[in-house]
Structure 1
Amino acid sequence: MAFEGLTSKLQDTLKKLKGKGKLTEKDIKEAMREVKLALLEADVNYRIVKDFIKSVSEKCMGKEVLESLTPAQQVIKIVNDELIQLMGNEESTINFTQNGITVIMLVGLQGAGKTTMAGKLALQLRKNNKKPLLVACDVYRPAAIKQLQVVGKQIEIPVFSLGDKVKPVDITKAAIKHAKEEGHNVVIVDTAGRLHIDEELMNELKDVKEVASPNEILLVVDSMTGQDAVNVAESFNSQLDITGVVLTKLDGDTRGGAALSIKAMTSKPIKYAGIGEKMSDLEVFHPDRMASRILGMGDVLTLIEKAQQAIDEKEAEKISKRLINQEFNFEDFLAAMQQMKKLGPLNKIIEMLPGVSSKELKGVDLNQGEKELKKIESIINSMTVKERKNPSVLSGSPSRKKRVANGSGTTIQQVNKVLKDYENMKKMMKQMKGMQKSFSKKKGLFGKLPF
């Protein structure tokens, strides 16, 4: 989970402040010392940490904080505001051309995840009604072109390639010409990387930049490399004048120092964050939402957006009505599970909920919950359509239960449990409907009264 260590330490520090009615300068100094250590352990650049603590401390020492009725909340707000400022204040979007083709160059070291990120970005832009073209300009890394073609096929987005014997400059020229002819309005150039920065690499990227005149030069960096990611960003920025940064593997870095250092060190915004292995696992980077996650206050807005994108409203409403009217069956249950799965893994959903502490989740096997859901799904998929639509057919037949258990790789006891849970849910919905009717009658009665 991103920022897990930092979030846990900040929550502990700020919780101590909440336990005090009034704060003294000594309280704030001690808290800031702990915040400083937490940021350094998260691999945030030392200079950034020093400036951050100085700014937060000065604001926390003000009379409006020390004499406030809720000083701890004021301190949390100051820390939150400073984190947002550190990461860029507001989201930074792609600079699209009004007419013609928007060219996006992806640059970075080998292994940062440029090729996969090219696909993720293309997929997201297509969802926003763009028509992207992927361009294979990595002519050095073995199978790099093939990898981009596989990614393109997976997401059904065309890939332009002239093989590995043509110079990247000539490939870029031809790709832009091809994009104009085929009606593409976004060209994403997947450039070559190296294991380390060298003059030859930079000269080649400068040549591609000259012929492409890109609207965006996005540096793709592996967030798990911590301070190295910041050093890489500074080097690429000084040579190419990048327009933004894309962080990959942010879900796998429990420290997250790169996200807190890059903007301040390069003055260039973080535009996207890769948060998983799936092609859809790419988020626009919102500094305010990320600050909220770091402080353990969740990210409800992103969760709502995910739900809006993933869940079919009409289908959800249909399932809801059937549930209330006690017409809900295993076909509906299966449909509901498919909708929920679109939101992503359980641990990522929980991370966005306010007030959920990473410390509290330690020892809790979130994968177990997902395994249980998969088991239930297997059991339902092993039923016939008739059994799914009318579970009572299954309840009274041991032979049917045995067949379902064998088909799903489970036991008859597990099948019985699913059936029992279903019956309990039906009883609960019946009680709720009864309460709803009772409330409606009372409401009608009160409506006739003179008060």
Structure 2
Amino acid sequence: MVLDGVRKALSRFLSGKGDYERAVKEFIRDLQKELIKADVNVRLVLELTKKIRERALEEEPPPGITRREWFINIVYEELSKFFGGDRKPDIKPKKKPWVMLLVGLQGSGKTTTAAKLAYYYKLEGYRVGLVTADTYRPAAYDQLKQLGEQIGVPVYGEPNNKDAVEIARRGVEYFVSRGFDIVIVDTAGRHHREEDLLKEMREIAENIKPDEVVLVIDAAIGQQAHNLAKKFHTATPIGSIIVTKLDGTAKGGGALSAVAVTGATIKFIGTGEKIDELEVFRPPRFVARILGIGDLEGLVEKVRRIKVEFTEKDVEEFLSGRLNMRLVYKQLVSLRKMGPLRKILQMIPGLSLKIPLEIEAGKAEEKIKKWLAIINSMTYEELDKPEIIDRRRTRRIAYGAGVKTEDVRELLKQYEMMKKLSKQLRKRKDLLKKLQLGFKP
């Protein structure tokens, strides 16, 4: 779910010097427009913005905090409550083995989510097994089998058997008897038939006695997620929810808010198609990225999980204004391993408000290749002090990297922009610490 309009409105609000009440009114109007565009229920939007407006005009900020700074805190807090509050979902299995049963409507991305879950828990050190009990889709077994091979997780299935309950039961027994820690059971979807979905869930659950039932919801269904989540939450109190495809739909806000209002637990969200694009859902962290405040803690966690050489110290150096081409190179190499550059940059506090158009245009990966080649052509002195690179050095570097001189100048321009931005972020970082925003899980 991307609310670029909210980020732009926040940026205007922060830089504005006019009447405070008018600025609040304009920001709230933009927020309402963006949330409704994201398919959030109109009544919920009005209730949310009413609370924000009342607090913004009635509350007095603490000493040392300006009214505009305090308003950001109010928006952050109210949006966090709106999407579920500061509850931390319980991710770790309470015992071993732990059996998870996945259910969901047809097309919700359930099979891919099963593989993502398996990969997530594998990285956490658990032995994970996948069971494919979808007997309706002919290619379901092959799809999960291929995904399992891709991530190194075994898959149990019986392609010629049409008894989903028996397949699920035998699959769970297969992995439990072999000492696996977590067993994830994928089931067939139902096309907008919640009753059939819940009926199958109960039948399979009676036979395999799952420790957790997980409902997978496609963000594209928007406000309709409310009824499905409510029925599911009532039918299975031990259940949790995963909202998928948040990267590619304008209805993500509708789905998330609709689920949150039921009181059901959103445990994970799918943020892309790649196998590692699944993250624990923590509303404060999610809202921080929507607002462009950033998610430093989330970035550090992602780094830890993928085990790249991009550390919290590197982030701190960037935010403190200490930047050279060595650090830029290290970051670029690490970012390529971590996924789409734009998503990672959005996690750095304040940076998502000013992401270059080149990155938004989807050409970042090609540019990164060129930039890495350019940096590799630099001398040690140039790496430490890019400011010394003149026209003669530019021609030499371009020749060595096999690129045009314009590419070298573009990198140097981006470097200067990042350097200025890192200095600006120092102030924003201090502000975030004062408000205690963005850095909490």
- What TM bracket, shorter-length normalisation? 0.7 to 0.9
Q: Distance in 1 between matches of 2:312 and 2:264?
A: 41
Structure 2 partner of 1:19: 17
CA contact (8 A) 1:262 1:268 kept: no
CA contact (8 A) 1:7 1:358 kept: no
Q: Which of 205, 209, 214 is the matching residue for 1:209?
A: 205
Q: How many angstroms does 1:182 deviate by?
A: 0.6
Structure 2 partner of 1:195: 191
For structure 1, which segment, 34-43 or 141-150, has the greater mean C-alpha deviation from structure 2 after superposition? 34-43
Q: Distance in 1 between matches of 2:292 and 2:160?
A: 47
Unaligned runs of 5+ in 2: 314-325, 378-397, 413-441
- The 1:74–1:412 alpha-carbon spacing in structure 2 relative to 1, beyond 3 Å, is closer
Q: How many angstroms does 1:45 deviate by?
A: 1.8
Q: How many angstroms does 1:210 deviate by?
A: 2.1
Structure 2 partner of 1:428: none
Q: Which of 346, 363, 373 is the matching residue for 1:368?
A: 363
CA contact (8 A) 2:218 2:245 kept: yes
SS of residue paired to 1:271: strand
Query: Do structure 1's residue 349 and structure 2's residue 344 form an aligned pair?
Result: yes
Q: Deviations over 1:357-404 (max 9, x none)?
A: 5576456555434213335678999x9xxxxxxxxxxxxxxxxxxxxx
Matched AA of 2:243: L
Q: Distance in 1 between matches of 2:291 and 2:109?
A: 28
Unaligned runs of 5+ in 1: 318-329, 384-410, 426-451
Q: Deviations over 1:106-164 (max 9, x none)?
A: 11111111101101110110111111111111111121111111111111111111235
Q: 5 Å matches for 1:74-153?
A: 74-88=70-84, 89-94=86-91, 96-98=93-95, 100-153=96-149
Matched AA of 2:228: V
SS of residue paired to 1:43: coil
- The 1:14–1:256 alpha-carbon spacing in structure 2 relative to 1, beyond 3 Å, is farther
SS of residue paired to 2:60: helix
Structure 2 partner of 1:71: 67
CA contact (8 A) 1:6 1:39 kept: no
SS of residue paired to 2:130: strand
- The 1:262–1:93 alpha-carbon spacing in structure 2 relative to 1, beyond 3 Å, is farther
Aligned residues: 380
- The 1:19–1:215 alpha-carbon spacing in structure 2 relative to 1, beyond 3 Å, is farther
Q: Distance in 1 between matches of 2:332 and 2:24?
A: 47
Q: Which of 33, 36, 40 is the matching residue for 2:32?
A: 36
Q: Which of 208, 228, 243 is the matching residue for 1:247?
A: 243
Q: Distance in 2 between matches of 1:338 and 1:355?
A: 22
Q: Which of 217, 223, 227 is the matching residue for 1:227?
A: 223
Q: Distance in 2 between matches of 1:270 and 1:335?
A: 34
Query: Do structure 1's residue 292 and structure 2's residue 291 form an aligned pair?
Result: no
- The 1:242–1:257 alpha-carbon spacing in structure 2 relative to 1, beyond 3 Å, is farther
Structure 2 partner of 1:8: 7
Structure 1 partner of 2:418: none
CA contact (8 A) 1:87 1:269 kept: no
Q: Which of 54, 62, 65 is the matching residue for 1:58?
A: 54
Q: How many angstroms does 1:236 deviate by?
A: 3.4
Query: Do structure 1's residue 267 and structure 2's residue 266 form an aligned pair?
Result: no
Matched AA of 2:2: F
Q: Distance in 2 between matches of 1:9 and 1:337?
A: 26
Q: Distance in 1 between matches of 2:14 and 2:374?
A: 45
Larger Rg: 1
Matched AA of 2:367: E
Q: How many angstroms does 1:13 deviate by?
A: 6.5
CA contact (8 A) 2:217 2:243 kept: yes
Matched AA of 1:4: L
Structure 2 partner of 1:170: 166
Q: Deviations over 1:328-362 (max 9, x none)?
A: xx9xx999865442122211122222223557645
- The 1:116–1:149 alpha-carbon spacing in structure 2 relative to 1, beyond 3 Å, is same
Q: Deviations over 1:276-329 (max 9, x none)?
A: 222112111121111111111111222222233345559999xxxxxxxxxxxx
Q: How many angstroms does 1:200 deviate by?
A: 3.2
CA contact (8 A) 1:48 1:264 kept: no
SS of residue paired to 1:250: coil
SS of residue paired to 2:213: strand
Matched AA of 1:129: G
Instruction: Provide the alpha-carbon RMSD of the alignment.
Output: 4.0
Normalising to structure 1: TM-score of the pair? 0.72
